[in-house]
Amino acid sequence: MAEAERIIGTPDTPDAAGDGRERPSSEDTGARTGESGTAPTGAAAAGASGSDEPEAAAGPAPRGRRRIAVLFAVALFAYALDLISKLIVVAKLEHHPPIEIIGDWLKFEAIRNAGAAFGFGEAFTVIFTVIAAAVIVVIARLARKLYSLPWAIALGLLLGGALGNLTDRIFRAPGVFEGAVVDFIAPKHFAVFNLADSAIVCGGILIVLLSFKGLDPDGTVHKD
C-alpha cells in the first residue's frame, strides 16, 4: 500500500490537487490586472486624469464662440433688413399716398417718428438714443458668457433692432442724436412701426419666455 502511494503520489497542498498548473505569482497578477481594464493607481491614475483636464477645460470655449457667432449673425440680418427697408421707404414711399396691403387693415405709410417704438415719448428723443446705446453695450458684454442658442437669437434680435433705430437717431434729420426714426408698417387701429421695432419686440418676448422656463444665458437651467 505504501509502495503504491509512493508511485501514484499523494497531494500535500491544494495546488497539487488541481490540474497541475502553477499558481500565478503576485507580479503576474498585477500585470494581468492592468491588462484586464482595472482602474490604474498611482502615477498611471494621475497621468490619466491629467490628460482629461485640458479637454474638459477647452470644451465650453468653442461652443461659446459659436453662440456669439449666432448672436451677431442674427443681429446683422435684422439690422440689414431694417436698413434696406427704410432706404426703400424713403426713396419710394415718402411724400406719396399710403400703399394698401390688406385693405384698410394694413398699409405701408412713411412716417418720421421722433419718439420711442410705436411713436411713444416724442419729447425724449435724446434719452431714447442713450438707452439704445446702453442696450447695445450691455448685450456686447453679456455675449462673453453666452452659451445658450435661444438666448443668442433673442439678444441678436434686440441688438439688430437697437442698431437699426440708433442709426436713424444719429444720421437722420433734424440732427445728430435727435433724428427721427422711419416708420412705415401701419396696421389699422395701431401705432405705425418698422422692422427694427418688430425685432426688438420679438427678442423681448423670447427673453421673457426663456426666463419663465428658467433658462439662463450661460446655458444653465434653474427652477424657482
Cβ neighbours around 185 below 10 Å, total:
20
* The residue type at 22: E
Q: Which of 28, 82, 183, 224 is catalytic?
A: 183
Q: How far is Cα 12 from Cα 10, in angstroms, rounded to an integer?
A: 6
User: With contact defined as beta carbons under 8 Å apart, do 93 and 99 qualify?
Assistant: yes
Residue 168 annotated in active site: no
Residue 82 annotated in active site: no
Q: How far is Cα 221 from Cα 155, in angstroms, rounded to an integer?
A: 18
Q: How far is Cα 111 from Cα 82, in angstroms, rounded to an integer?
A: 15
Closest CA to 164 of 182, 137, 191, 142: 182
Q: Which of 12, 19, 197, 216 is catalytic?
A: 197
Active site residues: 183, 197
